Structure 1
Amino acid sequence: MDMRRTGAIEAVSDGGTVESIATKMGNSIDQNKTLQKTYMLVNLASVHAADESRKIGRKNIASQQNEIKS
């Protein structure tokens, strides 16, 4: 599932159509909103922002845990 999602995200970010993604995946994603919601993220910029926030949060948590142990 992850490789399909990654491929769909990459294709969409470069302007790929849902029809071309359906052909590549060999399924009916172009006609199925559930598959689109599963494999094609709506707002890639938001996803990247969330990933960056997670990285910062992970560092903050690790830092706090180190302060408690000291």
Structure 2
Amino acid sequence: MLKKIQKFQKKPVVIEAYQTDIEIIIHTLEGEMKASPGDWIITGVDGEQYPCKPDIFEKTYKRVN
């Protein structure tokens, strides 16, 4: 059986984030993750937190007013 491939785009969701200047452990839905200095700590739509490397953050998010 052939499956029809469809394309999707992420919904525009506003998140909160801050950039850490120290190494910290973040308690995520997947378990504990280490955030290094310079990583962004993102708070998701359900209040969950997770770290994101600066290069990925810059490609994925833009600042809103």
User: Which TM class, normalised by the smaller chain length?
Assistant: under 0.3
- Higher relative strand content: 2
- Higher relative helix content: 1
What is the TM-score of this pair, normalised by structure 2?
0.28
What is the TM-score of this pair, normalised by structure 1?
0.27
Q: Give the structure with higher Rg (CA).
A: 1
